[in-house]
Chains A and B, each alone.
Chain A
Amino acid sequence: MDKFFQPQTTRTSQKQQKHVATPEAQPWVEKYRPKTIEEVASQEHTVAVLRKSLMSSNLPHMLFYGPPGNGKTSTILALSRQLFGPDNFRTRVLELNASDERGISIVREKIKDFARQTPRAITTSSDGKTYPCPPFKIIILDEADSMTQDAQAALRRIMETYARITRFCLVCNYVTRIIEPLASRCSKFRFLPLAPQSAETRLSQIATAESIPLSQPVVRTLISTSQGDLRRAITYLQSASRLALVSQPREDITVRDVQEIAGVVPDAVMVDFAGVIGVEVEREVGEDGMEVDEKPVQGKAKGFDDIRAKVREIVREGYSASQLLLQLHDMIILHPTLTSRAKSKCALVLAEADKALCDGADEELWILEVGVRVWKAVSDSR
């Protein structure tokens, strides 16, 4: 267990050695982690504030919050590196990650030990640059929302005791899970989901660096399937390019590749299913010129047995129910001609199904349930 709590630097240096050994095995999310705060995309406000504090070399306690994969961890790591430089990083920055044992005693011991040693400033680093190296240490508590209330309460005291020589940075997804007395001691920074434009720029940069061709539709699919989570988008991109690279002959990444990796149900399957349950959909022409079925979609609502047969077929294909319902939801809610009344009824059943699936319900039963009730709602409205 103790291994997890060693200061960040030991880990980083180990990692760097390994990376030298196998650079191609490095996940791109690590490889392209922003090195400076200027590289952090899309979080203009936060970066502007932090830039100022970088200049004045002073820092408040901070609380970063926001949805996954939008640069919280990266920002604080980059900021610390810019403050202290590579040499001092080890002695000045302590990173504690969640998901491991992080009870009160551990928090207390680790932080006490680390904060007790007085910082010594060496401003000129071995790489020839000078760093501000202000006279305090930074303690990063990543994924802080999974810390117990008791541990958080204990932290309050520690923050005060060592206030002179430490700055804390709490990082979390859900700000409401941080106890108020702790949150109120920090300046809060909200990290927004990545704007599509910034995500696109970042993805293109990575593609260029890895010299892989990337078409517009593929980028758009990456962004829409990852929903503002750049880590996911980058991982999908890496997986897709792996597959494209290894296929013989070598192919470019297609929209379908990305969808498959992201677990998205193919449009054709969705349109088919929607047709059987009475939701008529205009089939779009494949954006990247993918072949589109010639046969027109028949939106004729059928009966219970047809719906059940279709559901069985889908289950056999192995698509995940929650993904299917997510896509069906978008189809129905954005549908151009369905009546509002029908849509409302569908929304109700989709919500019920989502809850049921979260409770571990049988997927086949619930896809069928949704199918039949949507079908009823739509045919009632005719």
Chain B
Amino acid sequence: MSLWVDKYRPKTLDDLHYHEGLSTRLKSLADSPDFPHMLFYGPSGAGKKTRIGCTLRALFGQGVEKLKIDQRVFLTPSKRKLDLNVVSSNYHTEITPSEVGNYDRVVIQEILKEIAQTQQVDMNAKQRFKVVVLNDADSLSRDAQAALRRTMEKYMTNIRIILCANSTSKLIAPIKSRCLLVRVAAPTFQEMKTVLEHVAKKEKFDLPETASHSIIEDSNGNMRKALLVFEALKMQSTDLSGPLTIAKPDWETYCYKVADMILQEQTPQRVMDVRAKLYELLSHCIPPTVVLKTIADRIVQNVDEALKADIMHWAAIYEVRMRNGNKKIFHLEAWVVKVMSLYKHFFYDIDMTGFDDC
């Protein structure tokens, strides 16, 4: 039995619930012989992947749903072996180049060349080209992007590329100017409600207003998260009535605890305790940026207005440093110390001028 997120994932552009204007346009584009390269972007959980899937279906029909998954091995010029998962059908290929980190260029060039040289097997296919979906396009290296720039023009007759990214900020201009940019915004409150109600109807039960409200509030525009939470809740309490407590993921509760620890006491000993907790979070593979943002969010909910801006300011500063640095924990810890000192000084009303410029 599959999860609701998968079970009720729309398969065709007509099934999609929100952004109807966009769906219509995608449908007409898929019918025209003039399908461009595309770049889908938007926040996570907004439905980019689903929309790409539906577009592929509109381009090639049901055949795209027959998937095979291969583990492929590529060789770098220096003879290093790279493993990559390749999902493909007769009509398209999907890869996540970030799986091989800095060697993404090698992989992209190999795969694209290989596909460009093979013919479409299905002679009756509606479109003559094949589609290559590149996930996580934000993290493509500069090199890989430069390589794409030429390739996109050269293989235009046999290949269309669909890039999927959270933001366009990290893509170089020449790539953006070769694609049709498709922004997929997060669904609105009302749109999410419609989707939840649709699922409830299919599962044959009634969804109380209060329940859908709390689910949507909690999800912050992430449709995937909302559906997962919805299903979990339904398992807990079948009629979904009364006050619902949406169980936070463990790591989130843990982050909140850290935030509270920081505000309760500002001592060297406390720094050590917090540090142990941060290690714990990192060792469970919670991305450091998420840890930082979650703790910061919780802290600014509980401090004086005057402090909020500063706390977020330092969060922004330390987050970049963390990305460029090697030891994530150093920067997290430094930020914690900064917050503690800001808080303490504010509490004892000490003049903070001169402390800001670091």
Chain A residues in the interface with B (C-beta under 8 A): 11, 18, 22, 24-25, 27, 30, 68-69, 97-100, 146, 226, 229, 231-232, 235-236, 238-239, 242-243, 245-248, 260-263, 303-305, 308, 312, 315-323, 356-357, 359-366, 368-369, 372-373, 376
Which A residues lie within 8 Å of B183 (CB)? Answer: 260, 263, 317-319
By the criterion CB–CB under 8 Å, are A146 and B186 in contact? Answer: no
Interface pairs (15), CB distance under 8 Å: A30-B153, A98-B150, A146-B146, A231-B177, A235-B178, A238-B36, A304-B308, A308-B312, A316-B185, A320-B168, A357-B169, A359-B320, A361-B320, A369-B312, A373-B309
Given contacts A22-B157, A318-B184, contact A366 B36 (CB under 8 A): no
Is B58 among interface residues, defined by CB-CB distance under 8 A?
A: no
Q: What's the least CB distance linking A16 to chain B, in Å?
A: 12
Are the CB atoms of A246 and B46 closer together than 8 Å?
Answer: no
* Chain B hits for A319, CB < 8 A: 183
Q: Take A99-B147, A239-B36, A303-B305 as given contacts and tell me if A317 and B167 are in contact as well, using a CB distance cutoff of 8 Å.
A: no
B50 close to chain A: CB less than 8 A: no
Choose from B42, B43, B177 the contact partner of A232 (Cβ within 8 Å).
Answer: B177
Query: How far does the alpha carbon of A357 sit from the alpha carbon of B166 in the complex, in Å?
Result: 14
Q: Using CB atoms, name the residue of chain B closest to A242.
A: B34
A132 to B121, CA, bound (A): 47
Chain A residue numbers with a CB within 8 Å of B186 are 316-318
- Flag B83-100 by CB within 8 Å of A: 1 or 0 each: 000000000000000000
Which listed residue (A99, A308, A363) contacts B146, Cβ 8 A?
Answer: A99
Do B168 and A323 touch across chains, with their CB atoms under 8 A apart?
yes
Is B244 part of the contact surface with A, judged by Cβ < 8 Å? Answer: no
- A322 engages B169 (CB within 8 Å): yes
Contact bitstring B320-346, A, C-beta under 8 A = 1, else 0:
100110000000000000000000000
B237 is an interface residue with CB less than 8 A from chain A: no
| Residues of chain B at interface, number, CB under 8 A | 54
A100 touching B147 in the complex, CB below 8 Å, given contacts A361-B316, A362-B293: yes
Q: Is A68 within 8 A of B316, CB to CB?
A: no
Query: Could you say which residues of chain B place their CB within 8 Å of the CB of A260?
Result: 181, 183
Footprint of A on B, CB under 8 Å?
24-25, 28-29, 31-34, 36, 41-43, 46, 128, 146-147, 149-151, 153-154, 156-157, 167-170, 173-174, 176-178, 180-181, 183-186, 220-221, 289, 293, 300, 305, 308-309, 312-313, 315-316, 319-320, 323-324
* Contact A232 B181, beta carbon cutoff 8 Å: no
Q: Is the CB of A372 within 8 A of B169?
A: no
Output the least CB separation between B349 and chain A (Å).
Answer: 20
Closest Cβ of chain A: how far from B26's Cβ, in Å?
Answer: 9
From A99, A243, A321, A376, give the contact of B309 (CB < 8 A): A376
Q: Roughly how many angstroms separate A242 CA and B42 CA in the complex, as a whole number?
A: 22
State A226–B41 Cα separation when bound (angstroms): 20
- Chain A residues contacting B181 (CB-CB under 8 Å) are 260-263
